[in-house]
Protein backbone atom coordinates (compact mmCIF):
# COMPACT_ATOMS: atom_id res chain seq x y z
CA UNK A 1 0.00 0.00 0.00
CA UNK A 2 1.29 3.46 -0.89
CA UNK A 3 1.65 6.29 1.64
CA UNK A 4 -0.79 8.28 -0.51
CA UNK A 5 -3.38 5.55 0.15
CA UNK A 6 -2.86 5.92 3.90
CA UNK A 7 -3.27 9.69 3.58
CA UNK A 8 -6.52 9.10 1.71
CA UNK A 9 -7.79 6.89 4.52
CA UNK A 10 -7.01 9.59 7.07
CA UNK A 11 -8.93 12.15 5.04
CA UNK A 12 -11.86 9.75 4.58
CA UNK A 13 -11.95 9.21 8.33
CA UNK A 14 -11.83 12.95 9.04
CA UNK A 15 -14.70 13.60 6.61
CA UNK A 16 -16.69 10.83 8.30
CA UNK A 17 -15.94 12.35 11.74
CA UNK A 18 -17.08 15.79 10.63
CA UNK A 19 -20.14 14.86 8.58
CA UNK A 20 -21.44 11.68 10.22
CA UNK A 21 -20.39 12.32 13.81
CA UNK A 22 -20.75 16.10 13.68
CA UNK A 23 -17.46 16.77 15.46
CA UNK A 24 -16.24 20.35 15.79
CA UNK A 25 -13.57 21.91 13.60
CA UNK A 26 -11.20 22.05 16.56
CA UNK A 27 -11.61 18.31 17.22
CA UNK A 28 -11.06 17.51 13.52
CA UNK A 29 -7.90 19.66 13.54
CA UNK A 30 -6.59 17.77 16.59
CA UNK A 31 -7.35 14.39 14.96
CA UNK A 32 -5.61 15.47 11.76
CA UNK A 33 -2.51 16.58 13.63
CA UNK A 34 -2.30 13.33 15.63
CA UNK A 35 -2.89 11.01 12.67
CA UNK A 36 -0.42 12.76 10.39
CA UNK A 37 2.23 12.58 13.12
CA UNK A 38 1.52 8.86 13.28
CA UNK A 39 1.79 8.63 9.48
CA UNK A 40 5.11 10.47 9.56
CA UNK A 41 6.39 7.89 12.06
CA UNK A 42 5.24 5.06 9.79
CA UNK A 43 7.10 6.58 6.82
CA UNK A 44 10.32 6.98 8.83
CA UNK A 45 10.08 3.36 9.98
CA UNK A 46 9.71 2.19 6.38
CA UNK A 47 6.22 0.75 6.92
CA UNK A 48 3.66 0.69 4.10
CA UNK A 49 0.51 -0.07 6.12
CA UNK A 50 -1.00 0.69 9.47
CA UNK A 51 0.85 -1.20 12.24
CA UNK A 52 -0.87 -4.31 13.59
CA UNK A 53 1.40 -4.87 16.60
CA UNK A 54 1.15 -3.05 19.90
CA UNK A 55 4.95 -2.87 20.07
CA UNK A 56 4.93 -0.53 17.06
CA UNK A 57 2.34 1.72 18.71
CA UNK A 58 4.45 1.74 21.87
CA UNK A 59 7.49 2.78 19.81
CA UNK A 60 5.52 5.70 18.37
CA UNK A 61 4.34 6.81 21.82
CA UNK A 62 7.89 6.50 23.17
CA UNK A 63 9.01 8.84 20.38
CA UNK A 64 6.39 11.34 21.52
CA UNK A 65 7.67 11.16 25.08
CA UNK A 66 11.22 11.74 23.81
CA UNK A 67 9.91 14.94 22.24
CA UNK A 68 8.75 16.02 25.73
CA UNK A 69 5.07 15.88 24.81
CA UNK A 70 2.77 16.43 27.76
CA UNK A 71 0.90 13.47 29.21
CA UNK A 72 -2.36 15.13 28.16
CA UNK A 73 -1.14 15.33 24.55
CA UNK A 74 -0.14 11.66 24.53
CA UNK A 75 -3.51 10.70 26.02
CA UNK A 76 -5.22 12.60 23.23
CA UNK A 77 -3.05 10.81 20.63
CA UNK A 78 -4.00 7.43 22.06
CA UNK A 79 -7.66 8.41 21.92
CA UNK A 80 -7.28 9.58 18.30
CA UNK A 81 -5.57 6.36 17.26
CA UNK A 82 -8.11 4.20 19.11
CA UNK A 83 -11.03 5.82 17.28
CA UNK A 84 -9.19 5.67 13.94
CA UNK A 85 -8.45 1.95 14.27
CA UNK A 86 -12.08 1.31 15.18
CA UNK A 87 -13.11 3.06 11.97
CA UNK A 88 -10.57 1.03 9.95
CA UNK A 89 -12.15 -2.17 11.29
CA UNK A 90 -15.69 -1.05 10.50
CA UNK A 91 -14.63 -0.20 6.96
CA UNK A 92 -12.99 -3.64 6.54
CA UNK A 93 -9.71 -1.90 5.82
CA UNK A 94 -7.87 -3.53 8.73
CA UNK A 95 -9.37 -5.93 11.24
CA UNK A 96 -6.42 -6.27 13.63
CA UNK A 97 -6.55 -3.49 16.25
CA UNK A 98 -3.33 -3.11 18.26
CA UNK A 99 -4.89 -0.24 20.26
CA UNK A 100 -6.78 -2.83 22.32
CA UNK A 101 -3.47 -3.57 24.07
CA UNK A 102 -2.54 0.08 24.70
CA UNK A 103 -3.38 1.64 28.06
CA UNK A 104 -3.68 5.41 28.44
CA UNK A 105 -0.90 7.05 30.50
CA UNK A 106 -1.60 7.92 34.10
CA UNK A 107 -2.93 11.44 34.52
CA UNK A 108 -0.52 14.08 35.73
CA UNK A 109 -1.63 15.58 39.02
CA UNK A 110 -0.60 19.17 38.52
CA UNK A 111 -0.69 21.32 41.60
CA UNK A 112 -3.21 24.13 41.32
CA UNK A 113 -1.92 27.70 41.29
CA UNK A 114 -2.53 29.58 44.52
CA UNK A 115 -1.82 33.16 45.56
CA UNK A 116 0.09 34.07 48.68
CA UNK A 117 -1.67 36.01 51.43
CA UNK A 118 0.31 39.09 50.40
CA UNK A 119 -0.80 38.71 46.78
CA UNK A 120 -4.43 38.38 47.84
CA UNK A 121 -4.17 41.53 49.95
CA UNK A 122 -2.68 43.42 47.02
CA UNK A 123 -5.33 42.10 44.62
CA UNK A 124 -8.22 43.08 46.90
CA UNK A 125 -6.91 46.64 47.11
CA UNK A 126 -6.91 47.19 43.34
CA UNK A 127 -10.58 48.11 42.68
CA UNK A 128 -11.31 51.82 43.06
CA UNK A 129 -14.17 51.63 45.55
CA UNK A 130 -15.06 55.28 44.96
CA UNK A 131 -16.37 54.16 41.56
CA UNK A 132 -19.52 52.09 41.16
CA UNK A 133 -17.99 49.18 39.30
CA UNK A 134 -14.93 49.30 41.54
CA UNK A 135 -17.14 48.86 44.60
CA UNK A 136 -18.94 45.95 42.93
CA UNK A 137 -15.62 44.34 42.00
CA UNK A 138 -14.25 44.68 45.53
CA UNK A 139 -17.38 42.98 46.92
CA UNK A 140 -17.09 40.26 44.27
CA UNK A 141 -13.41 39.52 44.97
CA UNK A 142 -13.96 39.57 48.74
CA UNK A 143 -16.84 37.09 48.34
CA UNK A 144 -14.80 34.69 46.21
CA UNK A 145 -11.86 34.70 48.60
CA UNK A 146 -14.08 34.48 51.70
CA UNK A 147 -16.12 31.50 50.49
CA UNK A 148 -14.10 29.58 47.88
CA UNK A 149 -17.18 29.25 45.69
CA UNK A 150 -17.00 28.33 42.01
CA UNK A 151 -17.53 31.09 39.45
CA UNK A 152 -20.79 29.40 38.36
CA UNK A 153 -21.97 29.53 41.97
CA UNK A 154 -20.94 33.17 42.29
CA UNK A 155 -22.83 34.46 39.25
CA UNK A 156 -25.97 32.59 40.37
CA UNK A 157 -25.78 33.87 43.94
CA UNK A 158 -29.02 35.57 45.00
CA UNK A 159 -29.78 38.01 47.81
CA UNK A 160 -32.05 35.45 49.47
CA UNK A 161 -29.03 33.12 49.67
CA UNK A 162 -27.31 35.40 52.17
CA UNK A 163 -28.00 34.68 55.83
CA UNK A 164 -26.27 37.66 57.37
CA UNK A 165 -27.32 36.91 60.94
CA UNK A 166 -25.76 33.42 60.74
CA UNK A 167 -22.85 34.56 58.55
CA UNK A 168 -23.71 31.79 56.08
CA UNK A 169 -24.41 31.70 52.37
CA UNK A 170 -26.37 29.04 50.50
CA UNK A 171 -24.95 27.99 47.14
CA UNK A 172 -26.20 25.64 44.46
CA UNK A 173 -23.26 23.48 43.40
CA UNK A 174 -22.62 20.68 40.95
CA UNK A 175 -25.43 18.22 40.50
CA UNK A 176 -27.85 20.84 41.89
CA UNK A 177 -26.60 20.10 45.40
CA UNK A 178 -27.19 22.87 47.92
CA UNK A 179 -24.74 23.59 50.71
CA UNK A 180 -24.42 26.21 53.43
CA UNK A 181 -20.96 27.69 53.82
CA UNK A 182 -19.49 30.39 56.08
CA UNK A 183 -18.88 33.90 54.81
CA UNK A 184 -16.75 36.47 56.61
CA UNK A 185 -18.04 39.70 58.14
CA UNK A 186 -15.64 41.57 55.89
CA UNK A 187 -17.15 40.08 52.72
CA UNK A 188 -20.69 40.67 54.00
CA UNK A 189 -19.92 44.30 54.75
CA UNK A 190 -18.62 44.87 51.21
CA UNK A 191 -21.69 43.17 49.73
CA UNK A 192 -24.01 45.36 51.80
CA UNK A 193 -22.09 48.48 50.83
CA UNK A 194 -22.27 47.51 47.14
CA UNK A 195 -25.95 46.62 47.43
CA UNK A 196 -26.88 49.95 49.00
CA UNK A 197 -24.72 52.27 46.92
CA UNK A 198 -24.58 50.55 43.54
CA UNK A 199 -26.88 47.58 42.97
CA UNK A 200 -30.21 48.93 44.21
CA UNK A 201 -29.81 52.40 42.63
CA UNK A 202 -28.82 50.75 39.34
CA UNK A 203 -31.95 48.61 39.25
CA UNK A 204 -34.08 51.63 40.15
CA UNK A 205 -32.49 53.66 37.37
CA UNK A 206 -32.96 50.87 34.81
CA UNK A 207 -36.50 50.16 36.05
CA UNK A 208 -35.57 46.52 36.51
CA UNK A 209 -35.63 43.88 39.20
CA UNK A 210 -33.19 41.05 39.80
CA UNK A 211 -32.62 38.31 42.36
CA UNK A 212 -28.91 38.08 41.58
CA UNK A 213 -26.35 39.87 43.73
CA UNK A 214 -23.65 40.73 41.23
CA UNK A 215 -24.88 42.69 38.20
CA UNK A 216 -23.33 44.39 35.20
CA UNK A 217 -23.94 48.05 34.35
CA UNK A 218 -27.14 47.08 32.51
CA UNK A 219 -28.65 45.54 35.63
CA UNK A 220 -28.18 41.96 34.41
CA UNK A 221 -26.41 39.03 36.06
CA UNK A 222 -22.69 38.79 35.36
CA UNK A 223 -21.36 36.07 33.06
CA UNK A 224 -18.47 33.70 33.73
CA UNK A 225 -16.45 35.53 31.08
CA UNK A 226 -17.08 38.88 32.76
CA UNK A 227 -15.77 37.55 36.10
CA UNK A 228 -12.71 36.13 34.32
CA UNK A 229 -12.00 39.54 32.76
CA UNK A 230 -12.44 41.34 36.08
CA UNK A 231 -9.90 39.09 37.79
CA UNK A 232 -7.41 39.32 34.91
CA UNK A 233 -7.62 43.12 34.91
CA UNK A 234 -6.95 43.49 38.62
CA UNK A 235 -4.16 40.90 38.60
CA UNK A 236 -2.45 42.92 35.90
CA UNK A 237 -2.86 46.07 37.98
CA UNK A 238 -1.45 44.23 41.02
CA UNK A 239 1.50 43.01 38.89
CA UNK A 240 0.73 39.39 39.76
CA UNK A 241 2.49 37.30 37.11
CA UNK A 242 0.81 33.98 37.94
CA UNK A 243 -1.85 32.67 35.57
CA UNK A 244 -4.84 33.62 37.72
CA UNK A 245 -8.38 32.52 36.87
CA UNK A 246 -11.59 32.57 38.93
CA UNK A 247 -10.73 29.01 40.02
CA UNK A 248 -7.39 30.27 41.35
CA UNK A 249 -9.22 32.15 44.11
CA UNK A 250 -10.97 28.91 45.03
CA UNK A 251 -7.60 27.13 45.19
CA UNK A 252 -6.18 30.01 47.23
CA UNK A 253 -9.08 29.90 49.69
CA UNK A 254 -8.60 26.17 50.32
CA UNK A 255 -4.83 26.43 50.57
CA UNK A 256 -4.92 29.28 53.10
CA UNK A 257 -7.46 27.47 55.27
CA UNK A 258 -5.28 24.35 55.42
CA UNK A 259 -2.10 26.34 55.99
CA UNK A 260 -3.74 27.92 59.00
CA UNK A 261 -4.83 24.62 60.52
CA UNK A 262 -8.25 23.85 59.05
CA UNK A 263 -9.38 20.22 59.02
CA UNK A 264 -9.35 18.60 55.57
CA UNK A 265 -12.91 17.29 56.00
CA UNK A 266 -14.18 20.78 56.82
CA UNK A 267 -12.53 22.18 53.69
CA UNK A 268 -14.06 19.33 51.67
CA UNK A 269 -17.55 20.27 52.92
CA UNK A 270 -17.07 23.97 52.22
CA UNK A 271 -15.79 23.35 48.69
CA UNK A 272 -18.57 20.86 47.98
CA UNK A 273 -16.25 18.02 46.95
CA UNK A 274 -18.06 14.67 46.96
CA UNK A 275 -14.74 12.81 47.22
CA UNK A 276 -12.06 13.83 49.71
CA UNK A 277 -9.33 12.77 47.26
CA UNK A 278 -10.25 15.89 45.25
CA UNK A 279 -9.55 18.04 48.30
CA UNK A 280 -6.32 16.22 49.17
CA UNK A 281 -4.47 17.86 46.28
CA UNK A 282 -4.26 20.98 48.45
CA UNK A 283 -2.27 19.14 51.08
CA UNK A 284 0.62 19.01 48.60
CA UNK A 285 0.62 22.79 48.54
CA UNK A 286 0.57 23.06 52.31
CA UNK A 287 3.49 20.62 52.69
CA UNK A 288 5.70 23.23 51.01
CA UNK A 289 4.43 25.84 53.46
CA UNK A 290 5.14 23.55 56.43
CA UNK A 291 8.71 23.02 55.24
CA UNK A 292 9.24 26.77 54.87
CA UNK A 293 7.95 27.39 58.40
CA UNK A 294 10.17 24.60 59.76
CA UNK A 295 13.28 25.99 58.11
CA UNK A 296 12.47 29.48 59.31
CA UNK A 297 11.71 28.58 62.92
CA UNK A 298 13.83 25.56 63.87
CA UNK A 299 17.11 26.66 65.53
CA UNK A 300 19.20 23.84 63.98
CA UNK A 301 18.23 24.19 60.29
| Residues labelled as active-site residues | 150, 174, 247, 250, 273, 282
Cβ pair 127, 234 in contact under 8 A: yes
Closest of 184, 186, 181, 173 to residue 274, by C-alpha: 173
Contact between 207 and 221 under an 8 Å Cβ cutoff? The reply is no
In angstroms, the CA 168 to CA 185 distance is: 10
Pair 175, 153: CB distance under 8 Å: no
What is the 8-class DSSP label of residue 295? H
Task: Identify the bridge partners of residue 182 per DSSP, sorted by sequence position.
Answer: 168
In the sheet that holds 162-163, the strands lie side by side as: 162-163, 168-172, 178-182
Helix 71-90 to helix 3-19 angle (10° resolution) is: 90
Amino acid sequence: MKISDLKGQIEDYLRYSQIERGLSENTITAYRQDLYEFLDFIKKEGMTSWPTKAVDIDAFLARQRDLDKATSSISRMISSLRKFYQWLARQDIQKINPMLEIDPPKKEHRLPVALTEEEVTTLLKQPDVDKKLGLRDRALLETMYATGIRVSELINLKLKNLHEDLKLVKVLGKGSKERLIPISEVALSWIKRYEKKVRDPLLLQKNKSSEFIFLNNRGEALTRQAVWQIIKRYCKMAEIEKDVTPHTLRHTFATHLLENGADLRVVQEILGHSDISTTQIYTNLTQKHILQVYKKTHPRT
